[in-house]
Amino acid sequence: MIRNILPPVVDEHTRVLIVGSMPGVQSLEKQQYYGHPRNHFWRIIGSITNHAVPESYEERLQLVRQHGIGLWDVIQSCERIGSLDSKIKNEIPNDFIELFTRFPQIEAVFFNGTKAYDVFQKKIGFELLTGREYYKMPSTSPVPGRNIKTFEQKVEIWRMLEKYI
């Protein structure tokens, strides 16, 4: 079993939560959300917030916090060889009921990719967690999938975040 060691990046100012599936190998090694240098996540956030992407991870976290954006993953632990979402099995989810009880001001959840959305729907469900909006977004991963989009197309779709920040 691989255990997700990244704590949620959430505080009393978080209005929107971006939820991934499970960090890849490199992100877990670095202990950073979206730690692979080719992942488009931080560039997309920079484009949406009109800020240059900071070099340091701490400054990147500060950037999302300043805009009321939180980060977490659906999966607490799973079996997976490599980093691909398609290789994930036997998922155990994080405790979103506890998180939303502690931080009821979160208005929207943006799922970073299909796997995050599907695991959330299957293991947790939307019925228990009413009172906020849920959005399935294109993955920020550069790995081609079923619905390949350019960086520019991803930015345009992810601009839905602007409503909350």
CA distance 124 to 135: 15
Question: Could you say which of 39, 50, 94, 147 is catalytic?
Answer: 39
| Both structure tokens of 28 | 């877990």
SS3 assignment, position 101: helix
How do 75-79 and 89-93 pair as beta strands?
antiparallel
CA distance 21 to 114: 9
Query: Which residue has 């909350």 as its token pair?
Result: 164
Residue 39 annotated in active site: yes
CA atoms within 13 A on the CB side of 74: 26
Kindly state the helix (H) or strand (E) to which residue 19 belongs, with its residue range. Answer: strand 16-20
Task: Report, as residue numbers or ranges, the catalytic residues.
Answer: 39
